[in-house]
Amino acid sequence: MFVYTVPDVPILLTTFSLLYLLNVAEAIFNYFLKAGLLGSLALGILYGPEVSSIVPENVLQTLLILGYIGLILLVFEAGLSTNIALLYDNSASSILVGGSGIVLPIALSILVVHSGFGYDILPSFVAGASLSSTSLGTTLSLLKPELRQTRPGIVLLSAALFDDVVGLIIAAIMQTLSSNALGSVSWQDIVRPLLVSVAFAGSTCLLVWALQLLMKRMPDHWKRDIYRAETQLFLQAVFLASFVAGAKYAGTSELFGAYLSGVLVGHIFHSPPETVQPSARSASIESVAPSAGIYTPHLTFDIFVQPILRYVLSPMFFASIGSALPIRTLGSVDGSSRVVWRGFVYALSMAGAKALTGFWLLIPPTFLTFQTICPPWRIRNRPMQSVPDPLEELLMSPMRSAIFVGLAMIARGEIALIISEIARPILTQVSQELYAIVIWAILLDTVIGAVGVGIVLRQNPKASG
């Protein structure tokens, strides 16, 4: 039975300092590196059980829950701002970037860990599989809304989502291997998450079509009620909760469900019945909603959700990742410090493997579209928003776009931690060293990716905002 008691003053002050310093740390790292998330990550490490251990476990658990809600909202916002036509045009590039982002780390991991460090093939494969994911949270925190409307932004986002779905399959395989004493893996463990993801996406398309027909037949006065702030907020909450729960219990990623719910809401309700049309996200919110009484999904999210997401939930997410990193095991394993240089070598090799995925952005988009492959099969979609030309105003050139995507794909983060923890029995068969090496790579690659993207954005003021 839960009993209400007044928290101790030390716990109150510690939690208060953590919440306040999260924004201070993000502001400092954002000013110098354009990667504010590293501030929250570092603060989570300092406050976590591996360094100071001044935050109680129940507070850390609350931090983890609220932080993951922040991640779900980040993914939902990404779906909300997705341009469907642009996503379709670059779907082939996204699959190539995401696919090579999985294959290259695994192949290079087998080369480095098996041939270089002397581990067996299976632990080498498992280590590479842990590093084949891309941190969706890091990706979204680095992508301002305007960048998500560009070719590099949409390719990066969809490739990271692709890696997340495949990461779910890899996690299921790792869990089966760990629980069955390295036994065989059934084809259902591999195929089911993939088929469920495809079916979930297809069902979302059918739901969009049905809701569009319903909206067309709806009286104008009902439509005006739908575009009220409280109605929009309610619809977003209902669709988000439904899709997250449905995706998780169906067997695919809850983050994939959050993204699809954002796409659905942003696509269905982006055209109000009034003369006021949805403005670009760069436009002033105050100049649209209060004067017309109309709240599009973007405006509703920006006004009611974005402030708490930006200043509370998102920093909590990265702090929870930092608090979960086993820092103490990274300096020495079994009395040997070679784990440090091996961790650096492995991290650099895994960073290089992911950075190579940016190569596909050097290929002109006209050669990597389904319109080129199948001209009759074209998407009919109205442009969601009017945005500046991406390559001219944001990333300047295909080469810079390739560098941007390659660097952003390096960050691992939450999915890599989940897979490595599930696969820990396999990684620690011989000793704790390989597990520590994998953690080194996750930590360093997340830092390398965030700092690298920050440097690229600092060189382009229009891209960094």
Each residue's pLDDT tens digit, 275-319: 444 444 444 444 555 556 788 899 999 999 999 999 999 999 999
Q: Does 309 reside within a domain? A: yes
Q: Does 4 reside within a domain? A: no
Q: Does 146 reside within a domain? A: yes
DSSP designation for 277: P
What is the domain range of residue 384? 9-464
d(CA 305, CA 291): 20
Dihedral sign (CA 405, 406, 408, 409): positive
d(CA 281, CA 385): 8
Q: Which residues, in sequence order, are CB contacts of 442 under 8 Å at separation 6+?
A: 130, 131, 325, 412, 413, 416, 417, 420
Residue 189 has what pLDDT? 67
Residue 21 has what pLDDT? 96
d(CA 132, CA 100): 9
Residue 25 has what pLDDT? 95
Give the H or E element holding residue 14: helix 9-33
* Helix, strand, coil content of the chain in percent (nearest 5): 75, 0, 25
Each residue's pLDDT tens digit, 213-244: 998 888 878 888 898 999 999 999 999 999 99
- φ, ψ dihedrals at 57, nearest 5°: -65, -35
Tokens of 92: 């082939």
Residue type, position 162, single letter: F
| Neighbour count for residue 115 (Cβ, 10 Å) | 10
Q: Per the structure, how many domains does the chain have? A: 1
DSSP designation for 10: H
The Cα-based distances of 86 to 100, 351, 395, 405 in angstroms read 21, 28, 16, 16
The answer, yes or no, to whether residue 149 has pLDDT greater than 50, is yes
E-assigned strand segments in 171-313: none
List b or e across 238-270, with b for residues whose CB sees 16 or more CB atoms inside 10 angstroms.
Answer: ebbeebbebbeebbbbbbbbbbbbbbbbbbbbb
The Cα-based distances of 105 to 346, 349, 353, 395, 409 in angstroms read 10, 8, 5, 26, 11
pTM over 0.75: yes
Residue 438 has what pLDDT? 94
DSSP H helices, 34-90, are: 37-47, 57-80, 84-89
Residue 418 has what pLDDT? 81
Residue 289 has what pLDDT? 54
Could you tell me which residue, 335 or 451, shows the higher pLDDT?
A: 451
**∠ Cα 136 253 297 (to 5°):** 65
Each residue's pLDDT tens digit, 3-22: 899 999 999 999 999 999 99
Distance of CA 116 to the CA centre of its chain: 31
The burial class, CB within 10 Å (0-12 / 13-18 / 19+), for 312 is middle
DSSP H helices, 180-313, are: 187-216, 220-226, 229-250, 254-268, 289-292, 297-300, 306-308
Distance of CA 229 to the CA centre of its chain: 27
The answer, yes or no, to whether residue 424 has pLDDT greater than 60, is yes
Determine which of 54-63, 90-99, 139-148, 429-438 has the lowest per-residue pLDDT on average: 139-148
Q: Does 331 reside within a domain? A: yes
Q: Which residues, in sequence order, are CB contacts of 419 under 8 Å at separation 6+?
A: 129, 130, 133, 167, 170, 171, 174
Mean pLDDT of 135-163: 84
Q: Does 435 reside within a domain? A: yes
Residue 193 has what pLDDT? 76
Specify the CATH number for the domain of residue 70.
1.20.1530.20
d(CA 350, CA 22): 29
Each residue's pLDDT tens digit, 342-397: 999 999 999 999 999 999 998 877 666 655 545 544 444 444 444 444 444 455 58
DSSP H helices, 81-132, are: 84-89, 91-109, 121-130
Work out the pLDDT band at 211, boundaries 50, 70, 90.
very high
Tokens of 237: 């909450």
Q: Does 3 reside within a domain? A: no
Residue 309 has what pLDDT? 94
- Mean pLDDT value across the chain: 83
Residue 273 has what pLDDT? 63
Tokens of 445: 């690659």
Residue 464 has what pLDDT? 54
List b or e across 61-95, with b for residues whose CB sees 16 or more CB atoms inside 10 angstroms.
Answer: eebbeebbebbbbbbbbbbbbbbbbbbbbbbbbbb
**∠ Cα 122 123 124 (to 5°):** 90
Work out the pLDDT band at 32, boundaries 50, 70, 90.
confident
Tokens of 465: 């905002």
| Neighbour count for residue 187 (Cβ, 10 Å) | 7
Q: Does 124 reside within a domain? A: yes
Q: Does 367 reside within a domain? A: yes
Residue 356 has what pLDDT? 96
The answer, yes or no, to whether residue 431 has pLDDT greater than 80, is yes
